[in-house]
A and B are shown apart, each in its own frame.
Chain A
Amino acid sequence: MRFELSDDQQLLRSSTRDFFTKAAPLEHSRRIMEQDARGFEAPQWRQLAEMGYVGLVVPADRGGQGLGAVELAVVAEEAGRVCLPGPWLDAVLAAALLAQANGQDELLRQVCEGHKIVTIARFDAPFAGAAEPATRVEGAKLRGTKYFVPFAVAADALCVVTPAGVVLATAPFDVTPTSTLDLAQRFGTVAFDHVATPLGPASLLEGIDRLGAVGAGAMLLGIMQRCLETTLAYVNTRAAFSRPIGAFQALQHRLANMLLRVESTRSAVYRAAWCVDANHPDTALACATAKAYAGDAARLVCGETIQMHGGIGFTWELDVHLYFKRAKTLEQFYGSTEEQLERALDASGFLGADR
């Protein structure tokens, strides 16, 4: 029994940290955010793909790395630490989806190599509470509108979730780009009138959603870990009333609360990842738990990070708002907290039990 990562996984962690630190420094990501409507740069993206990060969980014989959910969590945690811009997690999930569908080997290979961008279009309404599906398949055609489509402007193809199952539509798309809090995560509204290629039933998404929960949970973990480190460094140097502010118990106990959330998220995320790989009976509950808890925990940790930095924490100049914003995006996507809570309750077995 061992919670620690294996030697290979630790190597993946350290090499990923080196690569992300060099390839995606925050000052570079800020330039993308402020100047690039696509939300990423093609050369950087191809480099990421060449390193194998896009096809991470795609089987090796289909052009991927053939790694598992634990490795996904390791990379996602590092992506969170640098607030990685671009559609990395979306592309990983779309690739995993394409790998489960038949007849998409060529597209899958191009996605893994970074030559094509594919993401999953899910949202039927811009605000919560869509009662009706907003897309439909009529004969061979996909019609209707999807909202909050990740990186729609750059997408070469989209996996679209419809009442008839998941279908593939290919560019060009009629996209209305939107701007959200986190400018390194770009979304668009897409109006479809496309040839629909069936990828499979909606049940294909079950496994993808679990990977999404693990990936997003791990990114939130990386974000929180980085926020805690940044805040600790700040409270140890910033002085007030002739002492470092970290000496005040009013802050110390709150920093202890932050650590509690970070470490508990780590336990939950890596246990969920391990459950996925081990095909454990607790997988559904563990994945929903990890994502729901990580989202809540990140609210506290990122919010406290701004608060403890004081006025400078509210400036565009300091990096902490990037983490705060990414955390909010991750919390609402990849299965919102509300959805994950419902999944957790369903998976708990507490409902309608042995009547």
Chain B
Amino acid sequence: MDLNLTAEALAFQDELRAWLGANLHRPWREELRDPAATEDSLVELRRAWQRKLYQGGYLGMGWPAEWGGRGATEVEKAIFDVELAAADAPPILNILGIGLLGPALIHHGSEAQRRRFIPPMLSGDEIWCQGFSEPGAGSDLASLKTAAVLDGDHFVLNGQKVWTTFGPWADWIFVLCRTDQKDRYGGISFVLCKLDTPGVTVRPLRQITGESEFGEVFFEDTRVPKENLVGKIGEGWRIAMTVLAYERGASSLSYSHRFARDLRLLARALEERGRLSGSAREKVARLVVENEVMRANGIRMLATFAEGKAPGTESSLEKIFWSEFDQRFRETALDLLGPGGQLLRSSPGARPDVDWAREFLWSRAGTIYSGSSEVQRNIIAKRVLGLPQT
């Protein structure tokens, strides 16, 4: 066992810290509570931040050099996530483009598609959203119905996508659509569609936080040029599964940094009020312990990367752990803070340290998106525990 970072990894960490020190002027927490901040202004702020990261050479680090890559290892990519979390940098705006579509194009796209789509994706000039879920296809994604019928040089799209994150601000969408009604998996294709194409309607959906980060996207006889097909017809499911693997990563370690920061602020707020005794003290201590276990899981995952192994089902365990911890943490924080914990950011009297009310609401999302806790437990039961399937 050796849980120390290598000299190379430490050098990368130092370089990144220095870069962040010089380039990140205000933590995201403070941007969010700027009285002048609006949903649109925050999007633009994130776009500008993404451009800075791109110019600094920190986006697409693991991709081939011609697409912005620098031969970064999985460990360096994980360090990147951790350091950005520790510095409380704004979240990367085009995370779905860079996290999912980028790898799809690099592995399955044509040369022309890579040249056309990757540079503006990295610079933040074109924001992507993900058209996977449908009203009738959530956890059971392969039952999706959005149809793509070939008509000359175009696909004609009809159907509806939903829970489309960034839909309201995005320029483009990558769509999983059905090109064969009979073949459940082999009848799915992966198509890129510009959102201002005639026949596309994007409608924001208001979330429980009051924000509209996601929306729904309708296709009515939408004509998409044939060259916007990624891979071959019928390869969509396979491509989607490969790119979803990229959505994973050593998330525990970066989450544990964020949670530790908020836990420290919670402990301080309680201590100031003389509330850190008895049952409150035990509750905070339990959260500290669970967060440290998450950190240990993250360090173990990092070591797995360092040995050149791809994460397998560990990522399901990791996701269940952080998302369910997030809920326990945020609920407990409100319990301990009292009604003041419910104050909205814009309200007089709200605590300036953490937007506790918003975090509480947001914690409900983590156990649903990107493979619900139920789906993750099914994956573990089947692939790790090898339990009989019905």
Which residues in A have some Cβ–Cβ distance to B below 8 Å?
1-6, 9, 70, 232, 235-236, 243-244, 246-247, 249, 251-253, 255-257, 259-260, 263-268, 270-274, 278, 285-286, 288-290, 292-293, 338, 340-342, 344-345, 348-353
Any A CB within 8 A of the CB of B108? no
Given A1-B3, A1-B6: A293 touches B289 (CB 8 Å cut-off) = yes
Q: How far is the CA of A4 from the CA of B376 in the complex (A)?
A: 25
Contacts of B362-390 to chain A: CB distance below 8 A: 374, 376-378, 380-381, 384-390
Partner of B264, one of A5, A274, A353: A353
Q: How far is the CB of A247 from the nearest CB of chain B, in Å?
A: 4
List of A residues within 8 angstroms of B268 by Cβ: 350, 353
CA of A267 to CA of B137, assembled, Å: 36
Select which of A236, A270, A345, A352 is within 8 A of B285 by beta carbon.
A345
Give CA–CA (A265, B4) in the complex, Å.
Answer: 20
Among A1, A257, A286, A353, contact of B2 (Cβ-Cβ < 8 Å): A1
B293 lies within 8 A of A268 (CB): yes
Tell whether, in the assembled complex, residue B288 and residue A348 are in contact, meaning their CB atoms are under 8 Å apart.
yes
* Beta-carbon contact of A252 and B300 below 8 Å: no
A sample of 16 cross-chain residue pairs with beta-carbon separation below 8 angstroms, ordered by A number, consists of A4-B303, A232-B387, A252-B377, A253-B381, A256-B385, A259-B384, A260-B321, A264-B293, A267-B296, A272-B296, A274-B3, A285-B292, A286-B296, A344-B285, A344-B289, A350-B288
User: Which residues of A have CB within 8 Å of B282?
Assistant: 338, 341
CB distance from B383 to the nearest CB of A (A): 11
Closest B residue to A277 by beta carbon equals B1
Q: Which of B285, B314, B388 contacts A342 (CB 8 A)?
A: B285
- Write out the residue numbers on chain B whose beta carbons fall within 8 Å of the beta carbon of A246: 387-388
Q: Contacts A252-B377, A260-B321, A341-B282 hold; do A267 and B293 have CB atoms under 8 A apart?
A: yes
* Chain A residue contacts of B286, Cβ below 8 A: 292, 341
Q: Give complex CA distance A342, B285 in Å.
A: 7
Bound form: Cα–Cα A224–B173 in Å? 46
CB-based contact B300/A267 at 8 Å: yes
A residues in contact with B334, CB < 8 Å: none
CB distance from B249 to the nearest CB of A (A): 16
Within 8 A of A (CB), among B1-58: 1-6, 9
Residues of chain B within 8 A of A247, CB atoms compared: 387-390
B299 within 8 A of A: yes
Chain B, Cβ-Cβ closest to A354 = B268
Q: How distant is the Cα of A256 from the Cα of B292 in the complex, in angstroms?
A: 21
Chain A nearest CB, measured from B219 CB (Å): 34
B306 contacts partner chain A, Cβ-Cβ < 8 Å: yes
Which of B2, B4, B288 neighbours the largest number of chain A CB atoms within 10 Å of its CB? B288
5 more contacts with CB within 8 A, not counting A244-B388, A252-B385, are A2-B3, A256-B376, A256-B377, A263-B314, A288-B289
Smallest CB gap from A271: residue in B: B296
Q: Which residue of B lies closest to A232 (CB)?
A: B385
For chain B, residues 233 to 260, give those with C-beta under 8 angstroms from any C-beta of chain A. none
In the complex, A278 Cα to B1 Cα: how many Å? 10
A244 to B294, CA, bound (A): 33
- Asked if B82 is at the interface (CB within 8 A of a chain A CB), the reply is no
The reply to whether A341 and B276 contact each other, CB–CB distance below 8 Å, is no
**Is B106 interfacial (CB-CB < 8 Å)?**
no
Q: Across the interface, do A2 and B381 meet the contact criterion of CB distance under 8 Å?
A: no
Q: Across the two chains, which residue of chain B brings its CB closest to A6?
A: B1
Known: A1-B75, A344-B292. A271 touches B381 (CB 8 A): no
Cα–Cα distance between A236 and B387 once the two chains are bound (Å)? 7
Contact of B267 with A351 in the complex, beta carbons under 8 Å: yes
